[in-house]
């Protein structure tokens, strides 16, 4: 018996519809298509992913998320309507590829500036760390390594690891990349429009083969691995500052303290944070703590927990100023977050 989970979201709440299709299938398939107004809900419903997102710019969050797959192949597409800090990891036991949906889009991904003209591979067991802009729109394909190596062998190619030689970003032939993007756009439309699911197993098997062939073909043809440039002083200072803020947890981190911890001047950190996040170090630490508060409010119990107590745990003592900053960033009051997600 196969269960498909279909969720839609017309406002801030989701409703669920469960259905099962066909008999005699050997795989458990899932299908999900959602509109989200909350990035933590987005992370929770990104099946097989371990994600932690933080909002970096003011305004209400919006997203669209589509995923369909089984244990051998997962196809996903995602749109995010705000600049986000993305952390987490890809589906375990699979090789995951990403391609931005438009050539004009870019993302800072694992310390590399990736454009829409490049294919990127999530490192197995490696951390996703990226900054996406408000126009973020990506296709993600996860396949079993066994399937990819079978296709490599059929074309008399070396196995996948020898093919990619440890690199994570690839400048591929423009025509081949355009064809692959067209296939992904077509696949997304077909999945969204699919209402008769009785032949889902046949459809997914065909999709698995087609995606594996297209991806190995892209990597086998002329491509140029993109190597990380040597980090500048401000890049190293930024990495140290990010780690220090993350490890500080609920503590307030002052700029002089941050400079000492990173062995960098305030001017260096100002340049680094503005370049990467479009925020000053002070603004970034505020945004980071506000995100921490929000995550705790979503898990709190209104009858037992108070906004003021949670805010004070994160170093916010002036409730009027805190509420104003919170509302500007997330487009809702902290009390609304507490009640809405309890």
- Indicate the domain borders of the chain: 3-225, 233-340
Assigned CATH for 3-225: 2.60.120.10
Which tens digits make up the pLDDT trace of 190-207? 888 764 555 666 677 888
Token pair 């921490």 in the structure block, residue: 292
Calculate mean pLDDT across residues 229-245: 91
172: three-class secondary structure by DSSP:
strand
Q: What is the pLDDT of residue 181?
A: 95
In this predicted structure, what is the pLDDT of residue 228?
A: 79
Distances (CA, A) of 239 to 90, 126, 232, 250, 334: 22, 16, 11, 19, 30
pLDDT digits (tens, 9 = 90+) for 121-173: 998 877 889 999 999 999 999 999 999 999 999 999 999 988 888 889 999 88
Taking only the tens place, the pLDDT of each residue in 12-35 is 333 333 333 333 334 577 888 889
Q: Return the CATH architecture of domain 233-340.
A: Orthogonal Bundle (1.10)
Task: Kindly report, residue by residue over 61-111, the tens digit of the pLDDT.
Answer: 999 999 988 888 999 999 999 999 999 999 998 999 999 999 999 999 998
Q: Give the count of alpha carbons within 13 A of 158, CB side only.
A: 8
User: Does the model's pTM come out above 0.85?
Assistant: yes
User: Which residues have a Cβ under 8 Å from the Cβ of 124 and sit 6 or more positions away?
Assistant: 90, 92, 95
Q: Any idea what DSSP says for residue 228? A: P
Q: How much is the pLDDT for 26?
A: 42
pLDDT > 60? residue 3:
no
How much helix, strand and coil, in percent to the nearest 5, is found in the chain? 40, 25, 35
User: Are 76 and 139 within 8 A, CB to CB?
Assistant: yes
Tens of pLDDT along 295-318? 999 988 888 889 999 999 999 999
């Amino acid at each position: 018996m196969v269960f498909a989970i279909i969720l839609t979201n017309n406002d801030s709440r989701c409703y669920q519809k469960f259905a099962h299709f066909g008999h005699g299938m050997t795989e458990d398939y899932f299908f999900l298509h959602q509109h989200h107004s909350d990035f933590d809900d987005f992370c929770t419903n990104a099946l097989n992913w371990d994600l932690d997102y933080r909002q970096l710019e003011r305004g209400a969050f919006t997203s669209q998320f589509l995923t369909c797959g089984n244990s051998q192949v997962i196809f996903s597409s995602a749109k995010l309507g705000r600049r986000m800090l993305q952390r987490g990891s890809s589906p375990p036991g699979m090789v995951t590829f990403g391609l931005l949906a438009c050539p004009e889009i870019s993302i800072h991904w694992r310390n590399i500036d990736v454009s829409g003209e490049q294919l990127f591979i999530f490192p197995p067991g490696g951390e996703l760390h990226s900054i996406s802009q408000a126009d973020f729109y990506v296709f993600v394909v996860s396949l079993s390594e066994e399937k990819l190596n079978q296709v490599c062998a059929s074309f008399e190619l070396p196995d996948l690891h020898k093919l990619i030689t440890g690199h994570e970003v690839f400048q591929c032939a423009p025509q081949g990349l355009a064809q692959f993007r067209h296939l992904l756009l077509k696949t997304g439309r077909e999945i969204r429009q699919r209402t008769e699911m009785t032949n889902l197993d046949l459809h997914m098997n065909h999709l698995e083969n087609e995606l594996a062939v297209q991806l190995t073909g892209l990597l086998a043809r002329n491509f140029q691995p993109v190597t990380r440039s040597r980090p500048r002083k401000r890049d190293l200072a930024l990495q140290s500052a990010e780690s220090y803020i993350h490890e500080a947890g609920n503590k307030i981190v002052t700029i002089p303290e941050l400079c000492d911890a990173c062995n960098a001047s305030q001017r260096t950190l100002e340049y680094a944070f503005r370049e990467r996040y479009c925020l000053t170090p002070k603004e970034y630490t505020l945004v980071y703590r506000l995100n921490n508060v929000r995550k705790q409010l979503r898990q709190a119990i209104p009858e037992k927990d108070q906004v003021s107590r949670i805010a004070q745990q994160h170093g916010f003592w002036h409730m009027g100023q805190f509420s104003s900053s919170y509302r500007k960033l997330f487009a809702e009051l902290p009390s609304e977050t507490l009640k809405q997600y309890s």
